[in-house]
Chains A and B, each alone.
Chain A
Amino acid sequence: MSLPSDLLPRRCRLAWLVSAVALLLMLVWHAAWLAPLLLIATVAVWAYQAGTAVPVAAVASTAPTVSAAPVREALEDVRSALVDELGSAARELHQGLDVLHDAVSELGGGFNGLSNKTAQQQSLLKQIIEVQDGDVSVQDFAKRTSDLLEHFVGVIVTMSRESLRIVYRIDGMAKEMDAVFGLLKNVNTIAEETNLLALNAAIEAARAGEAGRGFAVVAGEIRNLASNSNELNEQIGSHVERARAAMEQLSGLIGAMASQDLNVALSAKGGIDAMTAHVTETDARTSAAADQVVEISRGLTSDVSTTVRSLQFEDILRQLIGQTRERLTELQNVTTECTRDIEELACEPLAAEALEERSQRVRSRLAVQREKARLRSRGPALQNSMDAGEIELF
């Protein structure tokens, strides 16, 4: 700082010089005892200088009474400008606070709705998953069908086996019939031989003449018996033949029963296997997707709760803005009061004591204001962090 030397009285210059030397010494020499010593010296010089300064100020203050009106006017302007400006700033802050409040309450409502819907979605999903894990699954159904099909195939195979057993039995019976047929042929031969024998006996009886007449009758009866026996044989033969044909037919029928096409069962089995595989794959995919959705839904809930908690910034802002408004209002008052005092100081010729009293009033008013501000910044605990509070959503 450099001041024009001719404007300053010599003592004042001395005070500046002493202060500068003291500062230099303090910077160069760090001794502990030096600082208070230099302070005392400097204060003494400045006090001495101040004692002589008052008359200088008094001399200076008597001069401007001539041009009091323009100063008053200018100060009035300054005051009204400052007060207006502060007032409109306070109003704008108030408006801003209202807008902020509306927006935040709407946002809060929206997020709460979102959170409720997410909860609903989650419970629905849980229901779906529970239904899927229920008693009757498609997989279970496919397994049962497959078991049933295997049982069906088993029944068919068993039936075929038993049918074949019957067919083989019938074949055995047919063989016995064939044996009977063979035996009947033997009986036939015997009958023919008997017939021949009877014929010979009849010839011999005829040769014997009258004595063989009775024998001829017996021979004739024997021939009759032989021919009867032959007839009976033929009848038995035809019956056996018919029974044989019936057995052959029966064997064919049972054979048809034994010969079941297994391809239907096989293709059904293949279809069920494919279905089971498909269902298993689909089940796995569905359950993975459901898990993912549940995870996403959970994340969404946490996101929403974080967001709602973040909306507390409105409270903090409201407190801050409220304080600022209060300060502005006080500043308005202080500005009004102080400019009035300064106006009087500047424009009205006052006695030295009155002057001193006014300036003291202004200073003390400002000091009071500073103290208020200090107390306020210390006073009601302001919430500085938004993580400080947890919000219970439901």
Chain B
Amino acid sequence: MIVHHDNQLDCLTLEMGDRFDFSIHRAFRDACLGDGKPSRSYVIDMGAVTGMDSSALGMLLLLREHAGSDHADIRIVNTSPELRKTLRVAGFDKLFTLH
């Protein structure tokens, strides 16, 4: 997972690796669930992801809570059709902006 923060726009970009599951939960927390002030917007790049389980969805939901729930601006980009189906079934298309 590569984390990049755009200071000008206060936008945090997370480029996920091939696995988005429990094994990265610590790195994920350190990257965006810290005690500090949440960023204005987040971009989760799923381009490289091949495997995802329910803990990934849990992490995304925690990020949404951290970023202000309904006021959160989180975009999930480069999702493969398969992942997009998973996110749809979980109702994430109503909570996040899917690209």
Among B11-35, those with CB < 8 Å from A are: 21-22, 25-26, 29, 33
Q: How far is it, in angstroms, between the C-alpha of A277 and the C-alpha of B39 when the chains are bound?
A: 44
Tell me, rounded to whole Å, the shortest Cβ–Cβ distance linking B55 to chain A.
4
Tell me, rounded to whole Å, the shortest Cβ–Cβ distance linking A248 to chain B.
12
- Across chains A and B, the number of contacting residue pairs, with CB separation under 8 Å, is 72
Residue of A nearest to B35 (CB): A172
- List A contacts of B57 (CB < 8 A): 157, 160-161, 262
Q: How far is it, in angstroms, between the C-alpha of A259 and the C-alpha of B22 when the chains are bound?
A: 6
Residue of B nearest to A256 (CB): B22
Of A164, A171, A266, which is within 8 A of B86 by CB? A266
Of B26, B53, B59, which is within 8 A of A262 by CB? B53
Q: Is the contact region of chain A dominated by helix, strand, or loop, or is it mixed? A: helix
Q: Is the CB of A266 within 8 A of B58?
A: no
- List A contacts of B58 (CB < 8 A): 157, 159-164, 258
Given contact pairs A164-B59, A171-B26, A262-B90, A157 touches B54 in the complex (Cβ within 8 A): yes
Given contact pairs A255-B25, A255-B55, A266 touches B89 in the complex (Cβ within 8 A): yes
Of B21, B26, B86, B91, which is within 8 A of A154 by CB? B91
Given contact pairs A258-B55, A259-B55, A161 touches B61 in the complex (Cβ within 8 A): yes
Interface residues on A, range: 20 to 34
Tell me, rounded to whole Å, the shortest Cβ–Cβ distance linking A364 to chain B.
109
Q: How far is it, in angstroms, between the C-alpha of A149 and the C-alpha of B89 when the chains are bound?
A: 9
Interface residues on B, range: 20 to 34
Q: Is the CB of B29 within 8 A of A171?
A: yes
Q: How far is it, in angstroms, between the C-alpha of A161 and the C-alpha of B54 when the chains are bound?
A: 8
Tell me, rounded to whole Å, the shortest Cβ–Cβ distance linking A265 to chain B.
7
Q: Is the CB of A164 within 8 A of B89?
A: no
Q: How far is it, in angstroms, between the C-alpha of A163 and the C-alpha of B59 when the chains are bound?
A: 10
Of A150, A167, A168, A261, which is within 8 A of B91 by CB? A150
B4 in the interface, Cβ–Cβ < 8 Å? no
- List B contacts of A158 (CB < 8 A): 61
Known A-B contacts: A258-B22, A270-B85. Give 18 more (CB < 8 A).
A149-B89, A156-B54, A157-B57, A159-B54, A160-B54, A161-B61, A161-B62, A164-B62, A165-B62, A168-B25, A258-B54, A258-B58, A259-B22, A259-B53, A259-B55, A260-B55, A262-B90, A266-B85
Closest 8 CB pairs of A and B: A160-B58, A161-B58, A260-B54, A258-B55, A160-B54, A255-B22, A259-B22, A164-B58
Binding site for B on A (CB under 8 A): 149-150, 153-154, 156-165, 167-168, 171, 255-256, 258-262, 265-266, 269-270
